[in-house]
Amino acid sequence: MESIKAGKIFVAVDDDGTGVFGVRVPDIPNCFSAGINLEEALVNITEAIQSHLELAPEEYPYQVTPLSALSVDVNYSGCDFHEVSLCLPF
């Protein structure tokens, strides 16, 4: 697995059909966000990821699950995956 420190991580995007996009981070438990469009949702989740990692870096394994594994995970059935870039201080 690749390190989160490398600066990229996959996120799962749910479009509920109402115009709200929910975003979850498979590799960071309890890290989620939303937006009224995809662009806003991705900006918001990037900020949430950075906050999680900056506040408690020792809690995370710093590993990125490969997209091939996420795409067959039933927990993310129906999700679209996007890769977000991070700017981490460590």
Q: Tell whether the model's pLDDT for residue 46 goes beyond 90.
A: yes
12-22 tens-digit pLDDT: 999 878 889 99
Average pLDDT for residues 3-20, to the nearest whole number? 80
Q: What is the DSSP string of the chain?
A: -EEGGGSEEEEEEEE-SSS-EEEE-TTSTT-EEEESSHHHHHHHHHHHHHHHHHH-GGGS--EE--HHHHTT-GGGTT-EEEEEE-----
Question: Residue 51 has what pLDDT?
Answer: 86
Q: Tell whether the model's pLDDT for residue 3 goes beyond 70.
A: no
Question: Residue 4 has what pLDDT?
Answer: 54
Average pLDDT for residues 64-73, to the nearest whole number? 91
Decide: 86 and 49 in contact? Cβ < 8 Å. yes
More confident residue, 7 or 36: 36
Task: Report the alpha-carbon distance of residue 84 to residue 61 in Å, rounded.
Answer: 18
Question: Residue 55 has what pLDDT?
Answer: 79
